[in-house]
Amino acid sequence: MSTSAPRALPGITIAKSAPIWRQGTPLKMKAYGQALVALAQRNPDVVCLGADLTGPTETDMFRDRIPERFFNFGVAEANVMCAASGMAREGDIPFVNTFSVFATRRSLDQVALQIAYPNVNVKLVGFMPGLTSPGGPTHQAIDDVAIMRALPNMIVVEPADGDQVADLVEAIAEHRGPVYMRIKRGELPLCIPAGTPRARLGKLQPITSGADGTILASGVMVALALEAADDLRVAGLDVGVVNAHTVKPLDRDGVLAIARTGKPLLVAENHSVIGGLGAAVAEVISEAGIALPFGRLGVRDVFSEGGTAQYLFQKYGLSTAAIRAAFEGLLPH
Amino acid sequence: MTRPDTSRGHNVSLDFLADRARFVRLETLRLSRIAGAGHYSSTFSAAELFAALYYAHLRINPAEPRWPDRDRFILSKGHAAIGLYPVLADLGFYDMKLLENYTRLGSPFGDHPDMKKIPGVDFSSGSLGHGLSVGVGMALSGRVEKRDFRVYCMLGDGELNEGQVWEAAMAAGHFKLQGLVAIVDRNQLCIDGNTEQVMSVEPIGDRFASFGWAVQRIDGHDLEAVMAALEGLKPAGEGKPQLIIADTIKGRGVKRMELSLNWHVGNLVGEDYDDAWNEIMAGLQPRVEA
């Protein structure tokens, strides 16, 4: 389930799981793979490194179009992290592509000491964050944001929308220093309305505003938060949705502006509630001494199991309905 | 002192190199006293290697530490930095006076080297097992950019217990990184004892050869042999990463430290300091096996 290609068993096709978003949500496929090739065609310093996950990290396009700058290190994450560091020291801009769990937990010492500490220009791209992986705890990164956020010099981003991927790829390439980007593989929703100001690294991206409160979300949770806000609107509540595509550095002023309204604020993330976006937002608000109805929605300090994302999002409280219920729980009774 | 030019390989006398190896040991004593502790024995085993590499072999230019065509040197056994710092100062990368505050608050010179703070340090190190992988990346970049520099990486023998070293060895063989040179300071001891009793690393040469490396093995305290090995490295284009196994003695140069488990980190004071100083000044003496 976690390997690069479906097993070739004659007569058996692997069922494609239903998306976690509502039917009819427009989707974009392999936005990252396309964006990386486009970036590398403009910037000759970009090199692409991987660890035997070329298809699942959408870098087959890079391998086929720019083979002289594509390096596959096999199943050896510790090695590829340090090699990327060496290449960055030489002036290249390595994008290292693997699953989120391997970019963070598996190779933490290498990432911390050869990438974050020397502040080299390596971009780590981790796929299948949180419960978007069907592979069970071995392949579900529910702690990657917490880990990477704790590393000095490390920037942490997560695109919410298929069209946002290229913007963030461009932005992290322009930032000189280490970045961790977590991204769902395959299809991403096109959920940010045309006309919304584009993502800027380190700034919150308001998508809608609401007089009755705000849902601040990251990654795949943004589209679900927009669905929940639609449902709340039907129920008579005007709730805004804000995309926190940059978890670190968190947009402190943006968070405080939301908090100072005093309206309920729910933070929704596809990650443990410990150490991720919700925790980061809580830190900012509590240090500013602001009191408001506040909640964190995410994985509640448990390991999940294997299953479709649709099933796991229901079971572990990350669904549209769960977001709506959590927000309603913040309202005065 | 300054080196005559920036090409790789210099015709300097073995006596001169022996004098520079002695300088490495003496400076290790001096700096350890400033710090109150130091990695004596792991540095003493590498003293001849440092001298041969930096004074007779590497293509470097102290006036331009980040010269793109320089040979890179990664001290993967970062705890021997105390022996590298004075060499870089001696060659003119920075003022020797800076070492008077070695490891003191605010000093760029810590127990392990920091590339962001020290000219001539090509990569930060200290966590064992990472360096050869970094070297793989640098050698790949050299290939992408069509530069002919070499990347030299010095590893400890205990470090070979780290699995990542073998990931790097595998990748270097796979990518046929002829510009990558690994040097193992085979000083026989890790912290807990003899490597072959703690976790055996032999046969090192066969192991690397099976990963696609060209291997030489020499006495790492015999400067003539060290120079022959360095000069015997194949030029770029031969298609194999290259390994030099330098058989050395941990603590070499101060009898009480030789193959002793007590001096990985230590602090010589008083008469002991003076005795060690005099012993080093007398030069390496033939070893009488117990």
User: Cβ–Cβ of B141/A92 closer than 8 Å?
Assistant: yes
Strand partners, B186: B247
Residues 108-167 on B with a CB inside 8 Å of A are 114-116, 122-124, 126-127, 129-131, 133-142, 144-145, 151, 163-164, 167
Q: Radius of gyration (Cα) for chain B, nearest Å?
A: 18
Closest residue of A to B130, CA-based? Answer: A82
Mean pLDDT of the B95-119 span? 95
Q: Of A73, A94, A118, which is closest to B171 when you measure between CB atoms?
A: A73
> Token digits for B225?
């042999």
Listing DSSP states for A264-291 in one string gives -EEEEEEEESSSSHHHHHHHHHHHTT--
CA dihedral B122, B126, B132, B134 (to 10 degrees): -50
Half-sphere exposure of A102 (CA within 13 A, CB side): 23
A215 contacts: CB under 8 Å, gap ≥ 6:
A225, A228, A229, A239, A240, A241, A242, A265, A266, A267, A268, A323, A327
Distance from CA of A22 to the nearest CA of B (A): 44
- The average pLDDT across A124-139 equals 95
Share of chain A above pLDDT 90, in %: 93
Residue A154 in this model has a pLDDT that exceeds 50: yes
Could you tell me which residues are beta bridge partners of residue B216?
B244
In chain B, whose CA is at the least distance from the CA of A79? B133
Residue B4 has pLDDT above 90, yes or no: no
pLDDT in tens, B208-259: 999 999 999 999 999 999 999 999 998 765 689 999 999 999 999 999 999 9
pTM, two decimal places: 0.92
Q: Are B133 and A78 a contacting pair at CB < 8 A?
A: yes
pLDDT at B5 over 80: no
The pLDDT tens digits of the residues spanning B151-162 come to 999 999 999 999
CA distance A140 to chain B (A): 24
Q: For an interface test with B, which of A45, A49, A90 has the most B Cβ atoms less than 10 Å from its Cβ?
A: A90
Closest to B137 (Cβ–Cβ): which among A74, A78, A82?
A: A82
Number of continuous H segments (helices) and E segments (strands) in chain A: 12, 14
* Helix/strand number for chain B, H first, E second: 10, 7
CB contact under 8 A, B136 and A83: yes
Integer Cα distance of A273 and A281 in angstroms: 11
Cβ-based neighbour number of residue B134 at 10 Å:
33
Radius of gyration in angstroms for the set of CA atoms belonging to chain A, rounded to a whole number = 19
Point out the residue among B129, B136, B145 whose CB comes nearest to the CB of A86: B136
* Number of neighbouring beta carbons within 10 Å of residue A64: 11
- Nearest residue to A2 (alpha-carbon basis) of A53, A72, A49, A51: A53
* Percent of chain B at pLDDT exceeding 70: 97
Question: Tens digit of pLDDT for each residue in A14-46?
Answer: 445 678 999 999 999 999 999 999 999 999 999
- The C-alpha atoms of residue A253 and residue B274 are separated, in whole angstroms, by 61
CA A92-A200-A148 angle, to 5 degrees, is 60
Q: Is any Cβ of chain A less than 8 angstroms from the Cβ of B185?
A: no
Determine the distance in angstroms separating the CA of A150 from the nearest CA of chain B, rounded to an integer.
19
Residue B287: predicted pLDDT: 84
- Host H or E run for residue A98: strand A93-99
Q: Is A311 helix (H, G, I), strand (E, B) or coil?
A: helix
CA distance B137 to chain A (A): 4
SS3 B277: helix
| A239 beta partners | A213
CATH of the structural domain A12-189, one choice from 2.40.30.10, 3.40.50.970, 2.20.25.10, 3.30.420.310: 3.40.50.970
Element (H, E) at B74: strand B72-75
Closest CA to B208 of B230, B240, B234, B239: B240
Report yes or no: A62 and B114 within 8 Å, Cβ to Cβ.
no
Read off the pLDDT of each residue in B51-77 and give the average, rounded to a whole number.
97
Cβ–Cβ of B144/A92 closer than 8 Å?
yes
pLDDT at A4 (0 to 100): 46
Asked if the C-beta of B87 comes within 8 angstroms of chain A's C-beta atoms, the answer is: no
* Of the candidates A216, A213, A201, A211, the residue with the CA atom closest to the CA atom of residue A279: A216
Q: Between A and B, how many CB-CB pairs are < 8 A?
A: 104
In CATH terms, are A12-189 and A205-328 the same topology?
A: yes
Q: What is the mean pLDDT of residues A154-180?
A: 98
Residue A18: the pLDDT is: 76
Span of A52-56, A119-123, B8-12, B67-71 with lowest mean pLDDT: B8-12
pLDDT at B238: 63
Give the span between the Cα atoms of A242 and A234, in whole angstroms: 19
Task: Please give, rounded to a whole number of angstroms, the shortest distance from the CA of B171 to a CA of chain A.
Answer: 7
Q: Burial level of B148, CB count in 10 A (0-12/13-18/19+)?
A: middle
How far is Cα A149 from Cα A277, in angstroms, rounded to an integer? 9
Cβ–Cβ under 8 Å, residues B82 and B43: yes
Interface contact flag, B140 A71, Cβ < 8 Å? yes
Q: Nearest CA to B139 among B127, B131, B151?
A: B151
For B137, name the nearest residue in chain A, comparing CA atoms only: A83
Q: Is the pLDDT of residue B74 over 60?
A: yes
Cβ atoms of B125 and B154 within 8 Å: the answer is no
Give the Cα separation of A151 and A148 in Å (integer).
5
**Per-position b or e across B54-68, b if 16+ CB within 10 A of its CB:** bbbbbbbbbeebeee
Does residue B170 sit at the A interface (CB-CB below 8 Å)?
yes
Residue A155, CA distances (Å) to A93, A109, A179, B262 in order: 15, 17, 5, 43
* Average pLDDT of chain A to the nearest whole number: 94
Contact: A86, B167; criterion CB under 8 Å: no
* Residue B38 DSSP symbol: B
For the stretch A312-323, pLDDT in tens is 999 999 999 999
The CA-CA-CA angle for residues B183, B186, B187, to 5°, reads 135
CA-CA distance, A131 to A153, in Å (whole number)? Answer: 27
Q: The domain A205-328: what is its CATH number?
A: 3.40.50.920
How far A105 CA sits from the closest chain B CA (Å)? 15
Query: What are the sequence ranges of the domains in chain A?
Result: 12-189, 205-328
Residue B185's pLDDT band, with cuts at 50, 70 and 90, is very high
What are the pLDDT digits (tens) for A239-266?
A: 999 999 999 999 999 999 999 999 999 9
A2 pLDDT tier (thresholds 50, 70, 90) = very low
User: How much of chain A, in percent, has pLDDT values that exceed 70?
Assistant: 95
> Angle CA(A50)–CA(B184)–CA(B142) in degrees, nearest 5?
40
Chain A: residue nearest B174 by CA?
A: A73
Helix axes B81-91, B14-35, angle to 10 degrees: 120
| Token pair 């959408």 in the structure block, residue | A58
Pairwise CB contact (< 8 Å): B126 & A82: no
